Amino acid sequence: MLRQKKWIWVVPHGFQILSPSVTRLFCFCSSINNRPLVTVAICVHRAPGMANLLGLLKVKVIRGVKLVVRDSVASDPYLIVRHNNHKLKTRVVKKNVNPEWNEELTLSIVDAKEKIKIEVFDWDKFSFDDPMGVATIDIQPFVEAIKNLTAAAKAGGDLPPNNTIIRTILPCRDNDLADSSRIYFSNGKFLQDIVLRLRSVESGEVEIQLMWVDIP
Amino acid sequence: MLRQKKWIWVVPHGFQILSPSVTRLFCFCSSINNRPLVTVAICVHRAPGMANLLGLLKVKVIRGVKLVVRDSVASDPYLIVRHNNHKLKTRVVKKNVNPEWNEELTLSIVDAKEKIKIEVFDWDKFSFDDPMGVATIDIQPFVEAIKNLTAAAKAGGDLPPNNTIIRTILPCRDNDLADSSRIYFSNGKFLQDIVLRLRSVESGEVEIQLMWVDIP
């Protein structure tokens, strides 16, 4: 009887699994009580700069509002989040220009200066997907506010009281905000609510919530 | 010898010249020193609500920024301002998606609740002009701030000191502002600087300055 272990992706802190092409698979064969045992291990590479991992950023993609019509009467929108060579995707919501995604995508943040890029596409079965607008999110104010407050707390200070608004970012010509965006502390979490006005498209907004996960 | 007077459009306060179809032309013939004299008069109709004229609004259309390309490599943009059945136009700036109009268009304001509509078009010689985006301006905060301050001044108070910022309107989901918009008092004039992000188009901003002219 062959007892095969399940895949276990144990990745030490500061490492990340890269693309399959640079990831190596190893199999170890042994036996216990005369029964063969196959152990599978995966080799991960140390990612550049991962030693400087600042934390994890959960990007909750809530909904799209008044997105553009790309098919005959509607669109089949999905959203891509890009940051630091990572690309994460929501599911496709069929025939809906006001899609409710409510999906949480997680990014490793090593450089807060690098903006997050948001792209919305219309999924097409028989042709290339059509662009439905782009936007960027500057995460630097969010990460800096959190780092300052957590550093103060580690030095013996208190974290802010529940539901404290830490900072408000206003829409301006240099960002893609459609509305004032609040960075706040609620139920032990640092959050930022964001409404983006999509560029390079006739209409469309995207509602997003950022949540910070500190790495101990 | 026939001495013909030039057209003089003398319109009393509270009246306005309507469209030619409802405006009547009268000619009076007389003579002075045996020389024939023709006097031309124009009949104007009292416009509904003009008794409630709040003042004049000079809309300075400064420039367009990163307007959309509608012809092969550029556009020939002009801008229309609509308010209370009035329609005013800038000139066409040829082959330029960053046009400098610097034109002043004047509106009679009888209802501050009615928004100003801005439309940008690409002029075409041989076909219909192509739309290049729309936006609206809510003039109510501007007019109300001025009315309150001038009423206080008439009651014996002082007008604000020079270069006083009276109010700042922030961009939000319900307006078309691309940046914070300041209402201020400078050199005896009430002004508001506005940057509009055009809707229903892939890109484009319009810079506008409002100036209030009070009617004594």
Compute the count of residue pairs across chains A and B with CB atoms less than 8 Å apart. Answer: 40
Instruction: State whether residue B208 sits within 8 Å of chain A by CB.
Output: no
* Mean pLDDT value across residues B87-95: 98
Render pLDDT for B191-204 as a digit per residue (tens, 0 to 9): 999 999 999 999 99
Q: Does the distance separating the beta carbons of A173 and B178 come in below 8 Å?
A: yes
Render pLDDT for A112-127 as a digit per residue (tens, 0 to 9): 999 999 999 999 999 9
Q: Which helix (H) or strand (E) holds A193?
A: strand A189-197
Instruction: State whether residue A201 sits within 8 Å of chain B by CB.
Output: yes
| Percent of the residues in chain B that have a pLDDT greater than 90, as a whole number | 69
Test the A interface: residue of B202, B207, B208 with most A CBs within 10 Å: B202
Residue of chain B whose Cα is closest to the Cα of A66: B200
- For each of the domains in chain B, give its residue range(s) and CATH number, in order of start: 3-43 (no CATH), 53-214 (2.60.40.150)
The predicted pLDDT at position B34 comes to 63
Q: Report DSSP letters for chain B, one per residue.
A: --EEPPP-----TT-B---GGG-EEEEEEEEETTEEEEEEEEE-BPPTTGGG--EEEEEEEEEEESPPP-SSS---EEEEEEETTEEEE-PPPTT-SS-EEEEEEEEEES-TTSPEEEEEEE--SSSPPEEEEEEEE--HHHHHHHHHHHHHHHTT-PPPPTTEEEEEEPP-TTS-BSS-EEEEEETTEEEEEEEEEPBSSSS-EEEEEEEEEE--
The predicted pLDDT at position A76 comes to 97
> Is residue A182 predicted with pLDDT exceeding 60?
yes
Q: Which residues of B touch A168 (CB under 8 A)?
A: none
Q: Provide the chain B residues 143-182 that lie in CB contact (below 8 A) with chain A.
A: 170-173, 177-180
Nearest to A173 among B195, B199, B200 (CB): B195
What's chain B's average pLDDT? 85
Angstroms from B127 CA to nearest CA on chain A: 22
| Percent of the residues in chain B that have a pLDDT greater than 70, as a whole number | 76
> Is residue B55 predicted with pLDDT exceeding 50?
yes
Angstroms from B176 CA to nearest CA on chain A: 9
Nearest to A180 by CA among A169, A191, A196, A190: A169
In sign, the C-alpha dihedral spanning A112, A113, A114, A116 is: positive
Instruction: State whether residue A202 sits within 8 Å of chain B by CB.
Output: yes
The predicted pLDDT at position B216 comes to 76
| Percent of the residues in chain A that have a pLDDT greater than 90, as a whole number | 69
Confidence of residue B52 (pLDDT cuts 50, 70, 90): confident
> Is residue B62 predicted with pLDDT exceeding 90?
yes
Residue of chain B whose Cα is closest to the Cα of A132: B202
Evaluate whether B91 touches B102 at the Cβ level (below 8 Å). Answer: no
In sign, the C-alpha dihedral spanning A207, A81, A68, A125 is: negative
> Is residue A3 predicted with pLDDT exceeding 70?
no
Confidence of residue B6 (pLDDT cuts 50, 70, 90): very low
Local structure of residue A152 (DSSP, 8 states): H
Test the B interface: residue of A98, A182, A202, A205 with most B CBs within 10 Å: A202
> Is residue A11 predicted with pLDDT exceeding 70?
no
Q: Which residues of A touch B172 (CB under 8 A)?
A: 171, 178-180
Q: Does the distance separating the beta carbons of B177 and A178 come in below 8 Å?
A: no
Render pLDDT for B138-194 as a digit per residue (tens, 0 to 9): 999 999 999 999 988 888 888 899 999 999 999 999 999 999 999 999 999 999 999
The predicted pLDDT at position B39 comes to 53
What's chain A's average pLDDT? 85
How far is Cα of residue A168 from the mean position of the Cα atoms in its chain? 21
Evaluate whether A145 touches A183 at the Cβ level (below 8 Å). Answer: yes
ipTM of the complex: 0.71
Render pLDDT for A29-75 as a digit per residue (tens, 0 to 9): 555 566 655 555 554 444 545 668 999 999 999 999 999 999 989 99
Instruction: State whether residue B23 sits within 8 Å of chain A by CB.
Output: no
